Structure 1
């Protein structure tokens, strides 16, 4: 079977990465007596919500006083700052700070899919900015994303399964790491079942199918995706 051109495959990767952060309407995060966060509140939490460093530091200070809501907000803010940063050293420092805050949120909200998702996400950002520890951190990302998928698979447009799909797609295979194209495809399919309108879920599956050599199925999915998009209105 003829493989797709490399440039086309690279374009899909670019589009997938471009759509990494999904923005949703913002609401405050509230702790409950059971150590969880309401499903409605989690669904409305904005991942990668724009913020300032002063806000991150203020929320982090409140988190140190035991405020779980602030721990989540601070972790999320540091994730945003990592994405905006140009200095690699500062990006790594922000990722580490955010990861510690997300870990604190997990301790306070052990059954929160959002908390586990942010912990996995910031661990991934730390690995991205500290390549020497990348493989060491992969099991942490896998564990936390799996828990996020268990407690709230809908968070960030099926973010936990999308994250697991990307992890299994990009990590080296055995014996070095956990890379597994079959698992990647399964998680992307689950993400599509949960949030079919999120284009990054669809593109992740397309890229995985290309890597598996299933170009015909990849083309069919891509055609279906493009067919479902509304054409731009022409100006009259």
Structure 2
């Protein structure tokens, strides 16, 4: 897909509110004339139909509509941030991926300013986009660790069940991967607690089991091997049997990454 859309200054102003060093310019999207006849209000009403199974063209059309709206009731939701994340996760070009994720942060910041602070989804998609936009930049990621943790903790407190335990999953992995004290906020015990809860309360999501297996492996206790293998087997089964749409290929990369680490001696 070719990206090529004009720039909208009103979103530019909110990109860096509280987030350090994110890209300032939008990915431009060139859209054909066959975009569905959508309005911002109709998108909010039908937002549950937009997700990993939705084709990229439709998502880009929807994002374009939200870029143009000034409706405060629409900008106060998590939809723009979620659409940005869905598109960013599919983008193979790192520069464009980071710009889309940064735009998702901007949409979430706008929602917070318009009364969305009590909406766990807004905090969740802000954190997910922020994490995606800085993950390839160590210094930038370190500067944003505090914001990432705060947004994820608010999402866990407000709506831990969104996206099949997404806030639990994200915060657990942050504690697992971040440097430990005194250099960072990494904490294996917190990671284990959150990821075990995600796997237990949302057992149908493959990443919940995979990430819990990763935390168990990181703990370094040989007594965990049987459970690690069971969690990994369940994760692989769910991934292969479920219809995960455009997420499936990227999730396979997560499995491959762990496979490089998890090589226990039989």
TM-score, normalization by structure 2: 0.63
On the 8 A contact 1:59/1:71 being kept in 2, the answer is no
In the other structure, the counterpart of 1:66 is 72
Give the length in aligned residue pairs: 194
On the 8 A contact 2:149/2:174 being kept in 1, the answer is yes
Alignment counterpart, residue 94 of structure 2, candidates 88, 91, 97: 88
The alpha-carbon distance between structure 1 residues 215 and 60, as it changes in their structure 2 partners (threshold 3 A), is: farther
Q: For residues 23-47 of structure 1, what are the alpha-carbon distances to aligned partners after superposition, in whole Å with 9 as ceiling and x for unaligned? A: xxxx9646xxxxxxxxxx99x5765
Q: Give the C-alpha shift of residue 225 in structure 1.
A: 6.0
In the other structure, the counterpart of 1:164 is 171
On the 8 A contact 2:120/2:159 being kept in 1, the answer is yes
Q: For residues 196-219 of structure 1, what are the alpha-carbon distances to aligned partners after superposition, in whole Å with 9 as ceiling and x for unaligned? A: 222211211111111111233242
User: In the aligned structure 2, how far is the partner of 1:50 from the partner of 1:144?
Assistant: 29
User: In the aligned structure 1, how far is the partner of 2:104 from the partner of 2:210?
Assistant: 28
Does residue 76 in structure 1 map to residue 56 in structure 2? no
Does residue 201 in structure 1 map to residue 208 in structure 2? yes
Q: Give the C-alpha shift of residue 60 in structure 1.
A: 2.3
On the 8 A contact 2:209/2:234 being kept in 1, the answer is no
TM-score, normalization by structure 1: 0.71
Q: Give the C-alpha shift of residue 109 in structure 1.
A: 1.8
On the 8 A contact 2:178/2:184 being kept in 1, the answer is yes
Structure 2 portions without partners, runs of 5+ = 1-41, 242-266
Structure 1 portions without partners, runs of 5+ = 1-26, 31-40
User: In the aligned structure 1, how far is the partner of 2:51 from the partner of 2:145?
Assistant: 21
State the structure with bigger RCO (CA 8 A, min sep 6), 1 or 2. Answer: 1
In the other structure, the counterpart of 2:161 is 154
Tell me how large the CA RMSD over aligned residues is: 3.0
The alpha-carbon distance between structure 1 residues 175 and 45, as it changes in their structure 2 partners (threshold 3 A), is: farther
User: In the aligned structure 1, how far is the partner of 2:188 from the partner of 2:134?
Assistant: 21
